[in-house]
Copies of this chain bind each other. A is one copy, B any other.
Amino acid sequence: MNKTTLQIKMLYNKMGSAEKRIADWLMENPGKIISLSISELAEQCGCGEATLVRFARRLGFGGYQELKISFAREDGSAKTADGISAEDSCFQIFEKVSEDIYCSLEMTKNSLDAQNLETAAKAIMNGKRIMIYGLGNSAAVALDFQHKLMRLGYNAVSFCDNHMQSISASHLTKKDVVIGISHSGSSKDIVDAVKIAKQNGATTISITNNGKSPIVKQSDIALYTASNETKYSILGLNSRIAQLAIINAIYYYISCQDKNSSKTIKTTEESLQSKKF
């Protein structure tokens, strides 16, 4: 599946009935748009030309022509990513997983607030200590974040022990920053620890897939991922990748903004040299 098709599917629910008809026609007739003018397509879809222009704009194009060209670029051979089944080879599953990851990243682009992201990155840069809490699935993400921040020379620690999380949170001050990671946003222990940190005046950041979750109430800054994985799993596998993408973005942002970072990164690399063949 290509980028444009993907985007159409993502925005489908937000479309009006005429736009949905357009989306449906495009899905059912892959590649055909390329040889049609706006009036011809309007007739096919039973809508006005204006609606087609709006449709194109909504997808981020300048107009109908650009939409058409985008379809031409991205090849008509539209693969449709179905669910994963027992007949699939492991490689086919890999392809589907890639597709879903891509989809989740696009969705996260919509749900992630640019201002919050920037504020969170700056808070981390100014924090005296950075505490990162995650459990289960999110523990690996927390560890990844700690690792990256340490490479940049920051005083970052991650905990995947709920006692340690609460203990560490209880000793924080308003100079410190806490990052709570929970896909559901409802992990009791993480919420507790973040709450304690907030009571102590620390800046609290949460990374979650659920906007209406308890962790958000305890957060000064909430970073939302998005993913459509009800299909074949309760596990938020794709939102996890989106979390990592957010972490990568923050990492790069800090490494660009922080003037010491290039030196620090070099120091890190040097320290690891002897560990390699």
Contact = CB atoms under 8 A, between A and B. Distances in A.
Interface of A: 34, 68-69, 72-73, 75-76, 78, 84-86, 88-91, 93-95, 97-98, 101-102, 105-106, 108-109, 112, 114, 117-118, 120-121, 135-137, 139-141, 143-144, 147-148, 151, 184, 186-189, 191, 214, 232-235, 237, 240-241, 244-246, 248-253, 256-257, 265, 269, 272, 275-277
B114 A91 contact: yes
A276 B241 contact: no
SS of A interface (majority): helix
Copies held by the complex: 2
A83 to B, nearest CB: 10
Q: Which 4 A-B pairs have the closest CB atoms?
A: A91-B114, A94-B249, A140-B144, A98-B105
A140 B141 contact: yes
B90 A272 contact: no
B117 A86 contact: no
B141 A114 contact: no
Given A85-B256, A188-B276, 13 more contacts: A68-B69, A72-B73, A73-B73, A84-B252, A91-B114, A91-B118, A93-B253, A95-B109, A97-B245, A98-B109, A98-B245, A188-B277, A237-B248
Contacts of A93: 249, 252-253, 256
21 contacts: A69-B69, A84-B256, A88-B256, A90-B250, A91-B112, A91-B249, A93-B253, A94-B109, A94-B245, A97-B249, A98-B105, A102-B102, A102-B105, A137-B147, A140-B141, A140-B143, A143-B143, A184-B276, A186-B276, A187-B275, A237-B248
